[in-house]
Structures are given as structure tokens and as C-alpha cells.
Amino acid sequence: MEYGILSENRDHGDCKTIFYIDGGDVSDIRIKPCFKREMFEENGSVFPTGFGIPKSEILPINLDAKDRLIPKTTPDIELMHEFGTKPKVHFHPTLSRYAIENEKDYIEDIAKSWFFPVTQRGGWDSLRPYQGVAYGTLVLFRDYHQKPPLCSPQNFPCLTYSSVQELKDVMNWLLVDNEPSSEYYDMLSAQRVWLIENGTCEARALSLMEKIIELV
């Protein structure tokens, strides 16, 4: 029996059994067997996966360069009002442009921030937490405790918040007089380890192949 990992619209060739990759932002299962990011519950031949970021995107962590609390691109409407940031236009159609329009400045803005708040967007999984960890800041994930366990990012080590005040409390606990606490260092390290072991393109591909081999 032959196995392949193909998108739903590709030519299947001589493969007799196809594993699809469902990259949609919804929990609906369109075809099986598949690997799925937005996996909300156990379902026979559906297996969890998630976004991945290339290893080449992972930068050294430079705490000395940090000069701001959160990035300008934080896509949370409450934080936009509180901290004066501008979320991306496709999530807030009344805005006419991106807060930062070139990749170098976008990465630098994240790398120079102590914290990187992320939220559920089209789906729970997005590249934002992967970018935050890769560029050397600490990701705080809004309402992560409400995310279905099988839904990506799975088992991501993070602190969660549900309001601006909770976010402020967490940041004040982790950063005192502009100095990171031991908890900050521990979480920063745990997130970087998680990314390398689970959230790179290579790690995601290896996980998929291991699951297929297990099922052969």
C-alpha cells in the first residue's frame, strides 16, 4: 500500500491511500485521513499538526536590545486602544494599512519587545506565536486555556490572560523595573525549546512522517 501527503487538489498519481493536510481555519473535517491544525476533538483517522517556521528564521535572543513592552503589530483590539498599536488591516477593515510594511522592521519590532501577546484569530493556530519565539520575545497567549488540547499549537508553554488588566498583571510579575524575573527566563527558554522540538518546518514534517510510518 502506498502513502502520500498531498493537498486535496493535487494529482494523486499511483497512491492508493492519501493523507491530506487540512490547513483551514475551521474545525470542520472535509476529508479523511488527514492532518489538521484546528482539530477540536478525537476523530479516528484525523491527526493533529500545526504551523511550522523554518529553522533559519530563529534568531539569537538579545535581552539587551529590548526597549519596548509589546510590538506595534499586536493584533488585539483592546491592546490597540490601550497601548496605541495598530492591528493588521485584514482583521480590522476600517484600517487602511499595516502598522509595519517591511519584513526587517517587523522582525526588529518583535525582537526588541519584552512580550508578544497573541490571540485566537481566524483559527487558534497562526504564525504569530512561532514568530514571537523565533525572534526572541516571550509569547503571552490570550485565552490559551480555552483552546482544545488537540488544536495547534499543542502543549505550548505559555502564560495566558483574558483581559488587558490580566495582561498587565502578568507583565508586571515577569518584568520588574525593566528587569526580567527568573520566571521570565524560564518561560523564554521553555518556549524556545518547544519551538525547536515541535514548531519548526522540519519538526512538523518529521512528526507527520513518523505518524504515517506508524500507520503503515
Structural domain including 162 reads 55-199
Planar angle of CA 73, 78, 81, nearest 5 degrees: 75
Whether 26 shows a pLDDT value over 90: the answer reads no
The percentage of residues in the chain with a pLDDT greater than 70, rounded to a whole number, is: 81
Domain identity same for 94 and 191: yes
CATH number of the domain encompassing residue 68: 3.40.50
**pTM (2 d.p.):** 0.84
Strand, helix or coil at 71? Answer: coil
Q: Are strands 17-22 and 3-6 parallel, antiparallel or unpaired?
A: parallel
Nearest CA to 72 out of 112, 99, 104, 98 is that of: 99
Domain identity same for 82 and 178: yes
Domain identity same for 171 and 208: no
Q: What is residue 53's DSSP assignment?
A: B
Per-residue CA distances from 162 to 15, 19, 50, 79, 116 (Å):
46, 37, 23, 12, 15
Domain identity same for 159 and 206: no
Can you give the pLDDT at residue 31? 84
What is the DSSP secondary-structure string of 160-190?
EESSHHHHHHHHHHHEETTEE-HHHHHHHHH
Backbone Cα Rg of the chain:
19
- Which residues, 6+ apart, have CB-to-CB distance to 103 below 8 Å? none
Can you give the pLDDT at residue 146? 94
- Which residues, 6+ apart, have CB-to-CB distance to 154 below 8 Å? 48, 50, 198
138-187 tens-digit pLDDT: 999 999 999 999 999 999 999 999 888 899 899 999 999 989 999 999 99
Domain identity same for 61 and 40: no
Joined together, the cell numbers standing for residue 18 give 492519501
Domain identity same for 176 and 156: yes
Q: Are 53 and 131 in contact (CB under 8 A)?
A: yes
What CA–CA distance (Å, rounded) separates 196 from 28? Answer: 29
Q: What is residue 118's DSSP assignment?
A: E
Q: In what order do the strands lie in the sheet with 34-36?
A: 3-6, 17-22, 34-36, 46-48
Whether 81 shows a pLDDT value over 90: the answer reads no
Domain identity same for 110 and 179: yes
The mean pLDDT of 128-141, rounded to a whole number, is 96
The mean pLDDT of 63-90, rounded to a whole number, is 66
Domain identity same for 195 and 211: no
Joined together, the cell numbers standing for residue 216 give 503503515
Domain identity same for 177 and 207: no
Domain identity same for 76 and 64: yes
Q: What is residue 68's DSSP assignment?
A: B
pLDDT, mean over the chain: 84
Grid cell 504564525 in the structure block, residue: 127
Domain identity same for 160 and 191: yes
Domain identity same for 139 and 154: yes
